[in-house]
A and B are shown apart, each in its own frame.
Chain A
Amino acid sequence: MSGFLSSSIARKVAMALSALFLIFFLIIHLAVNLTSLFSEEVFNQASHFMGTNPLIQFAMQPILIFGVVFHFVMGFVLELKNKKSRNVKYVKYNGAASASWMSRNMAISGMAILAFIVLHFIDFWFPEMNHKYIEFLPEDPTRYFAELQHKFTNPLRVGAYVIAFILLALHLLHGFQSAFQSIGFNNKYTKCVKNFGTIYSIVIPLGFIIIALCHYFNH
């Protein structure tokens, strides 16, 4: 079993499973955020539920953080290993002739997303943890919408969010179907998976971009 876990295939399957988990998480995150466009009250209720439900806070949240960290660490480990596998570079290498930019630059789009997650944690997660578990401030179920709006008043932050989500879209355009290929799913449904993956990769990041822009312009 130890040989299995250190094998190249087990590692790519682990990357794929963590990716699929994060892909699923994005839908939930977007669904909650979308409510902010339609109803302040519903957004506050949804955020309050996510922020105080013990199952989400103490079971799902640690699993999610582990999934994010694992995906990034394993991604870097594999990228370094792959770089070492070609110790002498080509003088002329026409990578674009046979593979998409997205597939060849997952590390670049991944690092941009990592930088965004750091910004996102500074914006929302750290203050939230401080509010609830360090300063033990009294819980106000109606505070979330105002906090959200306040963050999207700065055009630089909104710009950073938009760029990050464009890079997320590029990452997903390769990553979605790649995850299925890695777990061995390549059959008559693959065309469907690829088409759905393309729609997902554009619609989900676009949803986040629309939310950021709407709050910026409506504030």
Chain B
Amino acid sequence: MNLTLKIWRQKGPQDKGQMVEYKVTDISEHMSFLEMMDVLNEQLVAKDEVPIAFDHDCREGICGMCSLHINGEPHGPDRGITTCQLHMRTFKDGDTIYIEPWRAKAFPVIKDLIVDRMAFERIQQAGGYISVNTSGNTQDANAIPISKLNADLSMDAAACIGCGACVASCKNSSAMLFVSAKVSQFALLPQGKIEAADRVRNMVKQMDEEGFGNCTNTGACEVECPKGISLENIARMNREYLKASII
């Protein structure tokens, strides 16, 4: 298939950046989207042009490294997948595809399609962990009773790979789906309850300081999330936060 690509090019954080048009030909519908980008980059390198910078790592939907806002949606038009799992068969011959970086004040562009997602790291460092004594006397986690329902809900929340599609899709650039998943995965487990109040207070404080917007419950994040993280987590975080701040 032959495609027209309109791709955001930006030399560095200070550069203004612009959309640049590229043509690619003979793209196989079996290629992944990132393989199509590789083909384009090989063409650019052959022409002595600077290849397009984009994030990727595992290329199997696990690491959360790939991003890309494709035709107005994070990770493209398919549901429940990351960009690396998006295949060219989703598009038609002759299509024009817009490819942009995540857009949020808290995710500044480093180069081309790569954004700095360290804001998520700082939120995690503010409380997204449990303090476990690893001296060798650690209690076996299986010895602690926990309901099957809570174990499942915690596991569902822990499926978040921190890619940032929630922020990218949200009209307010809100990070609440990400933060609520990280809060929930611990709040639901006995091991996480001890630090639950400090965790939610500190993570929300850091989230606000990073400059993410406010959640208005549009639900776009849930739809675009490659891991299907539920809005229930945001409601849980709101409850946890109110409990930690008022009671």
Contact = CB atoms under 8 A, between A and B. Distances in A.
- Label chain B's interface by main secondary structure: mixed
Given A8-B214, A87-B105, A99 B171 contact: yes
B159 interface: no
Contact of A8 (B204, B236, B239): B204
B232 A186 contact: yes
A218 interface: no
B238 A85 contact: no
B86 interface: no
Interface in A9-40: 9-13
Contacts of B231: 181, 186
Nearest to A100: B218
Contacts of A10: 245
B6 A178 contact: no
B241 interface: yes
Contacts of B236: 184, 186
Given A92-B71, A94-B73, A95-B220, A85 B106 contact: yes
Contact of B208 (A7, A94, A99, A174): A7
Interface string A92-107: 1111011110011010
Contact of B172 (A82, A92, A186): A82
B234 interface: yes
A217 interface: no
Contacts of A87: 105
B77 interface: yes
Interface residues of B, number: 49
A12 B174 CA distance: 12
A178 to B, nearest CB: 4
Interface residues of A, number: 42
Interface stretch (B36-44, B96-104, B120-128, B135-143): B96-104
B218 A103 contact: yes
B11 to A, nearest CB: 15
Nearest to A77: B214
Contact of A84 (B105, B232, B238, B245): B105
Contacts of B178: none
Interface in A164-201: 174, 177-178, 181-186
Contacts of B134: none
Contacts of B5: none
A94 B245 CA distance: 37
A81 interface: yes
B73 A11 contact: no
B69 interface: yes
B173 interface: yes
Contacts of A12: 214-216, 238
Given A85-B211, A86-B103, A92-B71, A97 B77 contact: yes
B200 to A, nearest CB: 9
A133 interface: no
B205 interface: yes
Contact of A91 (B100, B207, B215): B100
Nearest to B246: A4
B242 A92 contact: no
B242 A82 contact: no
B219 interface: yes
Contacts of B105: 84-87
Interface in B1-52: 6, 8, 19
Contact of A98 (B98, B211, B223, B242): B223
12 contacts: A4-B246, A7-B245, A8-B207, A8-B214, A12-B214, A12-B215, A82-B174, A92-B98, A181-B217, A181-B238, A184-B235, A186-B235
Interface of A: 1, 3-4, 6-13, 78, 81-82, 84-95, 97-100, 103-104, 106, 174, 177-178, 181-186
Interface of B: 6, 8, 19, 69, 71-73, 77, 98, 100, 103-106, 109, 169, 171-174, 176, 204-205, 207-208, 211-220, 223-224, 231-232, 234-239, 241-242, 245-246
Interface pairs A-B: 10 shortest CB-CB: A94-B72, A186-B235, A85-B213, A184-B239, A82-B172, A98-B223, A99-B218, A98-B220, A82-B213, A103-B218
